[in-house]
Structure 1
Amino acid sequence: MKIINEAEDRLLFVDPAFLETIESIDFELDTIEQYVVLDDEVPETSLSPITDYESFIGDHPTEYDWPDLDEEAECGICYTSGTTGVPKGASYSHRGLYLLSMSYGAKDSFGICEKDVILPVVPMFHVNGWCLPYSGTLYGSSFVLPGTHTDLEDIEGMIRGERVTIAAAVPTIWTEMATYIDENPEADISTLDRILTGGSSPPPAIMRRFDEEFDAPIIQGYGMTEASPHLVNTLVTTEVQELSPEEQYELRTKPGQPTPGVELRLRDRSGEPVPHDGGSTGEIQARSPWVIDEYYDRPEATEESFTDDGWFKTGDIGTIDEYGYLEVVDRLDDVIKSGGEWISSVELENELMAHEAVVEATVVSVDHERWQERPVAYVVATEDVTEEDLRNHLLDRFPKWWLPDLFVLTDSIPRTSTGKYDKQSLRTAFNDEYGSLPVEAEAVDQRTE
């Protein structure tokens, strides 16, 4: 509602499944002049004025002279997911999206071409479907559209039936797809020759499995709403090809190198450069023709998010190694400062996901009586797993003081509308139930099964 009013939307296209939702807020939508239901007829509804989509376009010509547009003119706006605060509007120009679409066809990017059949499971409200509708159309690719659902049976059926070559979805979808394939031996995703993922880093174990078992390598990208969304993607350079297979794979688990047209740099909290040694961390800053230069109608947020020399401050903490590969260590809002020392929630999550019994895992920071902040892990497991099992698994890689003070075993982990784990709601729920983490904590089993 706030987004619709702030953007001053005049037309609202509504899927029939969401009519009831829109009806409940209709009286608060100040700027809407017309509702268009995405169906062949208008169902019974209190929304007015309203028409169906076919009637809406029926009287308009199918051919027309393309308007002469300034390439810097705005062509769309997407809002951030609000995972760490109030959603902010990012406006895109025709020039920016065109250049980004062209970059998707590069061999060292995603190599999109005319022969591809693309399944964008990622929805349009998630940064314009990661720009795939524009780039695929530019290169003449075919599309398979999944609708509003993310049902694994339907996704697998579309991949198999339509011979999809590229599918794009957040990592949680591919984690669940691996489990679905285990439970359904007849499942077949063999037509996929690359999988695109982003939004968060995929678990290394899942990347290896899709690569080795399904011959469908996962190409992860790094970006954000403000970057339309693409900045970095997995790339095995000629220099890296000279390394051992294990060393190559370790680098492939990182987001990769900046795509042509993108500049990245790391800065510490005082704004000083951070060395590219693979270990020193700093805030990731970016600039590119398709990175926005301001938020829509949010001058304060714009001032906070851009440097004086025009670089966008992503809010992510990362490293860059000697090969130029970026690794995202954490969000500034998610990194855990415990007793003055930093703990990466992302690294803990990835290692938990590497446990054979763990299906999903996320780690959040909570208040602590002694150490100010401590990590708490929320875990979904396929079989009985104990706190001791998880602790011993993490101790193989991390010092004891990094380990979560509390493991919450649960049937599911809440997600945002874009499929990311909703850490903000987890923190709120934890605070409502516990207030703060006691000095001594025991594992909690919230599973209902």
Structure 2
Amino acid sequence: MMSTQLTLDRIIERAVDLFPERELVTKLPDGSVHRYTYGDAYERICQLAHALDELGLEEGTRVGVVATNHYRHFELYFGPACTGRSIHMCNMRLPDHHFVHTIEDADDEVIFVDPGLIGKVEANADQLESVEQYVVLCGPDELPETDLEPVTDYESLLEGHPTEYEWPDIDEDAEYGLCHTSGTTGLPKGVPYTHRAMYLHSIMCGHVDANGIGESDVSLPVVPMFHANGWGTPYAATFAGAKQVFPSVHTDPESIARLIDEEEVTFSAAVPTIWLEMAEFLDENPDVDISNIDRLTVGGSAPPESLIRKYDEEYDAPIIQGWGMTETSPLGTLSTLRKEVEELPPEEQYEYRSMAGFPVPGIEVRIIGDDGEEVPRDGETMGELQVRGPWVTDGYLDRPEENEQSFTEDGYLETGDVAVRTELGYIDVVDRDKDMIKSGGEWISSVQLENELMAHEGVAEASVVAAEHERWQERPLAVVVPTEGADPTGTELEDHLAETFPSWWLPDIYEFVEEIPKTSTGKFDKKRLRDRFDVVLEEEDTEEAKS
């Protein structure tokens, strides 16, 4: 057989060859709509390739992108990768010290940044020692005043360059991109992705038993493109030749619902909070029609069964739950229905649709119990979920110790997730690393919040656990033992934490106790804390609890 290299230039070239007039649509920050085609995008990607050459970036160099979902970000998904360089998808939601760490860890030489996010970069620029050039993703007339130096705008960077480019021969095992984990147990870890991995992941996303993205689809990736390759949907949709719709900053429920209606979107992907909020909007605005949706992929955290039912019964828009990690590129399982499940009564089908799902083609999974053996497929016996496959990482960037600890001798990634498996092979994740909190699909490190709380002079001990939240699924709840004679308030502690962490990391509730229970090894007993403070938070709980 021919030894054809599986590289990303072949993905974009296929789209241009077969679907040059297929649209790419962006709702810009000012509310206007930008439309162009795969053919137009390809010419600009070629110009970007020449511009990267002119900047003197060597093969393997990483460029960081701090941006929302839009057409210029799409161009950056291909320009660096197809020229033998690598795109580092930067998570601007990380705390500043994590954000800086990821850029320095990646050794980014150029940072591409949205005008609306330039403040995040400016605030940390003096610590970004590897960065030699800043490019603001706008035209010359839109370039904001900035202290970044040297700086140019994206359109000026591209201007005058040829609209054709001879792509170099790239090894399919070369790195094309890099994402970082969210630093739930320490500083974020870099996960390098190869061309081969994303090529195969893109094929899988088109499989009928996966996301089923085809050329007749209209794909709307609400999930940020800095989140594990936008869950792979921009690459998969390009490979298929599907129309794509990018929301940029407009990820509120009304904007998403109207984009689905107006652009006739058939496939979209987002965390449960997006679909929860959109359901409220649709109830109040029955004139907005989303019936053209064939499937909505939900990831980040499990959607409530009531939400799945609502979208089925009221909007005829099936929700498919997915599980994955930054380490798995990210798609690992989907709650698509096997034939045996489709034959069950609807009530029983919902039980399977509420699970993490069935392994997608190409991914092998197993659940290992405390005895080191694979657990029975009884839907009850718990163990650690372990995975392997062609788009599962085989190691973190420059983290030899973590690499030793994270993989089995026979090559499985130890996910740290606790799960059970049913007789039909479905995976149900029943618990996660007990110290992690997932709010609206974003990870929050309880350990780092605890350390910073205990740095306050009025705090002797502090433990942070997840509390169930009606809107965000989980929110941090802080349990605090004051130092003798001190009387700190929740507001005081919040102000202290706000000096280090973004607002969405801050606990919603502060409980003051005389003693925090501990395990036999002297660690905080978080299971007992979760049992003791078993509450469901609402929006109004937050301010009341800080006084």
TM-score, scaled to structure 1: 0.78
Q: Deviations over 1:294-325 (max 9, x none)?
A: 00111111111111211100110001100111
Contact 1:88–1:296 (8 Å) recurs in 2: yes
1:302 and 1:6 map into 2 onto residues whose CA distance is 16
Matches of 1:315 and 1:62 in 2, distance apart? 47
Distance 1:264 1:224, change over 3 A: same
Question: Does the aligned pair in 1 maintain the 2:336–2:358 contact within 8 Å?
Answer: yes
For the pair 1:135 / 2:225, whether they are aligned, the reply is: no
Correspondences of 1:6-405 after superposition (within 5 Å): 6-41=105-140, 42-334=143-435, 377-380=467-470
Q: Residue 84 of structure 1: CA displacement? A: 4.2
Compute the displacement of 1:240 (Å). Answer: 1.9
Whole-angstrom distance in 1 between the partners of 2:362 and 2:534: 50
3-state SS in 1 of match to 2:116: helix
3-state SS of the aligned residue for 2:176? strand
Structure 1 runs (4+) deviating above 6 angstroms are 364-367, 373-376, 431-435, 437-445
Q: Quick one: structure 1 residues 330 and 191, their matched pair in 2 at CA, closer, same or farther if it must change by over 3 Å?
A: same
Q: Give unmatched runs, 5+ long, in structure 2.
A: 1-99, 451-462, 472-489, 491-502, 518-528
- Aligned to 1:303, what secondary structure does the other structure show? helix
Q: Which residue of 2 aligns with 1:446?
A: 541
- 1:35 is aligned with what amino acid? Y
Aligned to 1:386: none
Deviations 1:65-104 (A, max 9, x none): 2211111001000011223432111000000100010011
SS at 1:131 equivalent: helix
Counterpart contact for 2:467–2:534, Cα < 8 Å: no
Distance in 1, Cα, partners of 2:374 & 2:533: 40
Rounded Cα–Cα distance in structure 2 between residues aligned with 1:92 and 1:147 = 24
> Which residue is 1:356 aligned to?
none
Q: Distance in 1 between matches of 2:355 and 2:185?
A: 23
Structure 1 pair 10–160 and aligned structure 2 pair: CA distance change class (3 A): same
- Once residues 187 and 108 of structure 1 are traced to their aligned partners in structure 2, the CA distance between those partners, rounded to angstroms, is 29
> Given the superposition, is the C-alpha separation of residues 158 and 58 from structure 1 closer, same or farther in structure 2, using an over 3 Å criterion?
same
CA 1:157/1:440 → structure 2, altered by over 3 Å: closer, same or farther?
Answer: closer
- Paired with 1:298 and 1:317, the residues of 2 have a C-alpha distance of 24
Listed as ranges, the gaps of 5+ residues in structure 1 are 336-344, 350-361, 368-372, 382-407, 409-420
Amino acid at match of 1:426: P
Tell me the residue number matched to 2:507: 426
Write the distance in 2 (CA, Å) between the matches of 1:57 and 1:380: 46
Q: Classify the secondary structure of the residue corresponding to 1:124.
A: coil
Q: Can you list the C-alpha shifts for 1:342-388, whole angstroms capped at 9, x where unaligned? A: xxx99xx9xxxxxxxxxxxx9x9999xxxxx997735448xxxxxxx
Taking structure 1 as reference, are residues 141 and 299 closer, same or farther at Cα in structure 2, changes over 3 Å only? same
Superimposed CA distance per residue, residues 152-171 of structure 1 (whole angstroms, 9 cap, x where no aligned partner): 22111211111111111101
Alignment deviations for residues 224-259 of structure 1 (CA, whole Å, 9 cap, x no partner): 100000111122112223322211221121122111
State the Cα RMSD in Å.
3.1
Secondary structure, counterpart of 2:163 in structure 1: coil
Could you tell which deviates more after superposition, 180-189 or 224-233? 180-189
> 1:24–1:442: structure 2 CA closer, same or farther, 3 Å change rule?
closer
Pair 440,71 (structure 1): closer, same or farther in 2 beyond 3 Å: closer
Contact 1:35 1:48 in 2 (8 A): yes
Check whether the contact 2:303–2:321 (CA below 8 A) recurs between aligned residues: yes
Q: 1:255 to 1:440 in 2, by over 3 A?
A: closer
Cα pair 1:84 1:333 within 8 Å, conserved: no
Secondary structure of the structure 2 residue equivalent to 1:213: helix
**Contact 1:77–1:92, Cα closer than 8 Å, also in 2:** yes
> Measured at CA, do residues 334 and 280 of structure 1 come closer, stay the same or move farther in structure 2, by a change above 3 Å?
farther
Is residue 250–residue 256 contact of structure 2 (8 Å, CA) maintained in 1?
Answer: no
CA distance in 2, matches of 1:137, 1:159: 19
Query: Cα deviation per residue 1:418-441 (whole Å; 9 max; x = unaligned)?
Result: xxx97x7539x6478887489987
- The secondary structure found in structure 2 opposite 1:144 is strand
Amino acid at match of 1:308: E
Whichever residue aligns with residue 541 of structure 2, its letter is Q
Q: Distance in 2 between matches of 1:446 and 1:288?
A: 43
User: CA separation in 1, counterparts of 2:280 and 2:162?
Assistant: 48
Partners in 2 of 1:227 and 1:311 — Cα distance?
11
Indicate the residue corresponding to 2:5 in structure 1.
none
Partner of 2:193, secondary structure, is strand
In 1, the alpha carbon distance for the partners of 2:187 and 2:211 equals 32
User: Could you tell me how far 1:132 is from its partner in structure 2?
Assistant: 0.6
CA distance in 2, matches of 1:162, 1:205: 27
- In the alignment of these two chains, the number of paired residues is 381
Q: Is the 8 A contact 1:120 1:132 kept in 2?
A: yes
Change (3 A) 1:440 1:241: closer
Structure-2 residue corresponding to 1:398:
none
- CA pair 376-66 structure 1, distance change in 2 beyond 3 A: closer
Q: Deviations over 1:92-149 (max 9, x none)?
A: 0000100010011111111111111111011111101000110000000011100034
AA matched with 1:135: A
Letter in 2 for 1:293: D
Residue pair 1:119, 1:168 contacting (<8 A) in 2 also: yes
| Amino acid corresponding to residue 281 of structure 1 in structure 2 | M
CA distance in 2: counterparts of 1:203 and 1:228, whole angstroms: 25
CA deviation after TM superposition for structure 1 residue 442, in Å: 10
Q: 1:375 to 1:77 in 2, by over 3 A?
A: closer
